Structure 1
Amino acid sequence: MCSISLYFQKLNDIIRKYSLIVTLIILILYFLFAFLLERASFYSLLALWSSLFAGSYLLFRSQKENFRFLCGVSILFRLVFLFAIPNLSQDFYRFIWDGRMLFEGFNPYLSLPEAFIEMGKQPINEATELYKGMGEMNGSHFTNYPPINQLCFYIAALLGNHSIFISIAVMHIIIIVADLGILLYGKKLLKLLELPISNIFFYILNPFVIIELTGNLHFEPVMLFFLVFSLYKLAKNKWIIAAISLAFSISVKLIPLLLLPIIFNYFVNKKMSFFNGMKKLIAFYTLVLLTLIITFSPFISNDFFANYINSIGLWFRSFEFNASFYYVAREIGYLFRGYNEIAIIGKIMPLIATSFIICITFFRKNEGLQELITAMLLSLSFYYLTSTTVHPWYLATLVCLSCFTKYRFSVAWSFLIVLSYQAYSNTPWKENLWIIFIEYIVVFVIISYELKFIKTNLKINLN
């Protein structure tokens, strides 16, 4: 055991000595990823992905105490993607479409790209190119991106209305700035929780985060900035600002809605009377709701509600990708019914997840901030494990929340999620369920180990 420890110490010393060379190698790998990789080349993707994780891990271990250095290289790695066109996702074409629709005075929630193209109309610049880029499936559905996310798209249109390339660069900058906000307030939150500030690099330096969010233009960093800022203000007992910021987070991506019930015990606990706690909790929820209504108000109409609810419902009724428990339920459905029961199972799974969240809310102490964040992490993890669709970038929320807890399974999952891209090496795309099985069996083993290990350590510390 001592020899292994000594070996890693020597390795750390070597990496620390040659950290600039390691950084240069990682930069080259990111450049290859950004400008030369194709999504269908799964083995090239896997090799680059694994190399980046290995290099980043070694850099983190050797420079763990050098906060400024790790901040600098994390920003540098993101800047590689500034002028790169996303190569693992085509969603950015829809983002640009929605932003330009807003710029031209249209309500993006009330129209389908497909309808304009079929009528031969060009409501925005480069409409045909954007429609081809987003694909028929995306273009045939109403947008489901909330208002503050739409604001980001609008800013890209404002500065790059005549160029897809400039629009992409603007969105890269927005996401990088949001990550800097997470770095700033994440560090402050870690200090309040008396946790190592280096924990923030599980998110900031993570190749998954850099590639999926900065590289492929998924706006989780904007959502997570408002969420981290909200948690920080909650820790400072500034719950009014926390409520507004949480509403902004929901108005970027809807997923933080699932976290609202978990806050219950943070307000209603032994530290204050039940009446005062409930009064503050109701005021908190009311402020979140009012802020959400204000952000949605410019777009609200009779058709808006029908289109938006239908678009969100499609994810539960029709889409399936990289699922775990759902695929097991689907196979059982095939055995008894002979066909895919997604229309039924897709409605049951959210109910199971909701029941779990309710149990976490009322049967687990979430009075302290770290306990609250841990409850959020476990609840969202369970939600994704029961979802019909788990795109890689969904895990960003888990990785970010894990920085403020004792759990690291989401960091391991952020590496393993690359296996889901094997589906795109086939034409048309098709998942290999054995590969998905490998991904999730490793994730379940790590989760089980961490739950048992942390519980055991907690008992030892209490005794």
Structure 2
Amino acid sequence: MFLNSAFFKLNRAPLVLGLLSIVLYWFFAYDLVRTEYVKLVALYVALFGLFYKLVLALKDNIKALTYLAFGFRAVFILSIPNLSQDFYRFIWDGRMLLAGLNPYLYTPEQFITRGNFPVAQAEALYAGMGPLNGSHFTNYPPINQFCFFIAGIFAGKSILGSAMVMRLLIIAADFGTLHFGKKLLKKLDLPAYNIFWFILNPFIIIELTGNLHFEGVMIFFLIWSLYLLHCGKWQISAVVLALSVSVKLIPLMFLPLVFQWFIMRNTTSTANTKSNFLKGLPKLIGFYGIVGATILLLFAPFYSDQFISNYAKTVGLWFQNFEFNGSLYYILREIGYTFRGYNEIAIIGKITPVLVILFILAITFFRKNRTTIELISAMLLALSFYYFTTTTVHPWYVATLLILSVFTKYKFPLVWSFVIILSYLAYVNVDKADKSENLWVITLEYAVVYTVFFWEIATKKASKLEA
């Protein structure tokens, strides 16, 4: 009877695509090891193709796309992440808090090497996170730690249970991103279905829901903050932006970019510029003050001199010690090997943050960022520059670029979310003596990304000249 219904006849193709996606997601969640690169790439390419067809087929049916997005996420509920080990450290930190210990003051290795097991399943968690992660102090901000703590409360003795709790928190954040993302798109007179290039994207479903990366929670607060800012509720926006920073530090780099939004909006003359500056400066200072005060308040329970030293040291490692899936950095590294004979990551890692700061200041003052779309575009360009120059670009980092692109004309983050799967081919050598990445694969990935990026930049400039 159901097979002959009008509903099935009208939605036959999307239903088939949806069911096939569920089957493939099941294989991805429960029958895949990250070293199985052929299966990994094949599943991902198939899922991405199905996702693209579903969004185009159902772009006028927001409700159906919503059901599919969260139905796909439900497939992962009982799974253990298979592409990342980070969640073991999340569980460790949450259980440290539950035990009344400050996770910023100790490394897991300090306990394990002394035969001291401060949390339930300590040995299993340490083995899962690996010695590299276990030998460093945690760098996860306080709201992130609070999420880990919640997992400890509800599943303090089960790794799978903890993963399920964290997964539900990330899915809830995706609901929030969907809600405020649609509202912001409508405010900006952009198609509401654009949000599904993020929400339904298999990259997002796999990396956030599947692998438990909390970029999803950070993005929820970021989009909520941007919506509030667009609506003129800048005080609440500042508080919510601080919550975003307190999940992941990345949104800190966006703070300079709001300068024009407060100071130069609706400017049409010199006199108007002076008037807007006098009116906007107190609001800008107030915005920065609220963000700063909220962040300090959230970090305050963990404060100690040792905490500051440990946290600064750990953050510094990302610039001067770690390297993965870099692009321009890898070129500079090879130049260093050629002329100096060794890896100059320590020097390059110090220069990169300076270049990023200079670039952000340049687009803050010399690029028009007065409207919400212009502001979001500036955020996208600033973050892109950072990822193009930094030493380390883990796949899930691209999630923030992807959500920002939803509100702009740029599509290269969507392309990047497709080719980023190539970076996982580095794990083919994980159990071999040579654990280095295949630079030809990295070259292919970035050749595609840069081609689309520069094509979009050139196209945008051409359209301005024609106008």
The TM tier, using the shorter chain, reads: over 0.9
For 2:265 and 2:110, the matched residues in 1 are separated by 57
> 8 Å contact 1:114–1:139 — kept in the other structure?
yes
- Extract unaligned runs of 5+ from structure 2: 1-7, 267-274
Deviations 1:210-259 (A, max 9, x none): 00011000001110111000000001100000000000000000000010
Any idea what the Cα deviations from partners look like across 1:145-174, whole Å, max 9, x if unmatched?
000000000000000001111100000000
Counterpart position of 2:339: 336
Q: Distance in 2 between matches of 1:52 and 1:181?
A: 24
Counterpart for residue 20 of structure 2 = 25
Cα distance between partner residues in 1 of 2:397 and 2:464: 30
Q: What's 1:449 paired with?
A: 455
Match of 2:94 in 1: 99
Q: Contact 1:323–1:387 (CA<8 Å) still a contact in 2?
A: yes
For residue 273 of structure 1, give the secondary structure of its aligned residue in structure 2.
helix
**Could you list the per-position Cα deviations for residues 288-344 of structure 1 after superposition, in whole angstroms to 9, with x for gaps in the alignment?**
000000000000001000000000001111100000000000011111110000000
> 1:16·1:59 contact (CA, 8 Å) conserved in 2?
no
SS at match of 1:283: helix
Question: Unaligned 5+ residue runs, structure 1?
Answer: 1-12
Q: Which amino acid aligns with 1:103?
A: L
Alignment match, 1:296: 299
Structure 1 position 275, deviation (Å):
1.7
Q: Report deviation, 1:31.
A: 0.2
RMSD between aligned residues: 1.2
Q: Which residue of 2 aligns with 1:144?
A: 139
Cross-structure match for 1:434: 440
- Answer yes or no: is the 8 Å Cα contact 1:16–1:62 preserved in 2: no
**Would you say 1:359 and 2:362 are equivalent positions?**
yes
Higher mean alpha-carbon deviation, 193-202 vs 273-282, is at 273-282
* 1:128 counterpart residue number: 123
Residue among 65, 68, 71 paired with 1:70: 65
Note if contact 1:15-1:59 (Cα within 8 Å) is conserved in structure 2: no
The structure 1 residue matched to 2:162, chosen from 167, 174, 181, is 167
Q: Which runs of 4+ in 1 moved over 6 A?
A: none
- The Cα of 1:16 is off from its aligned counterpart by 4.8
1:32-431 equivalent positions in 2, closer than 5 A:
32-269=27-264, 271=266, 273-426=276-429, 427-428=431-432, 429-431=435-437
Q: Which letter does structure 1 place at the counterpart of 2:72?
A: F
Change (3 A) 1:159 1:312: same
CA contact (8 A) 1:15 1:58 kept: no
Question: TM-score, normalising length from structure 1?
Answer: 0.95
| Identity in percent | 55
Q: Distance in 1 between matches of 2:427 and 2:401?
A: 24
Letter of the 1:63 counterpart: L
Say whether the 8 Å CA contact 2:144–2:246 is kept in structure 1: yes
CA distance in 1, matches of 2:338, 2:11: 56
1:378-408 Cα distance to aligned partner (Å, 9 max, x none): 1101100001000000000000010111111
Q: CA deviation at 1:15?
A: 9.7
What is the deviation of 1:349? 1.3
Matches within 5 A, 1:2-21: 16-21=11-16
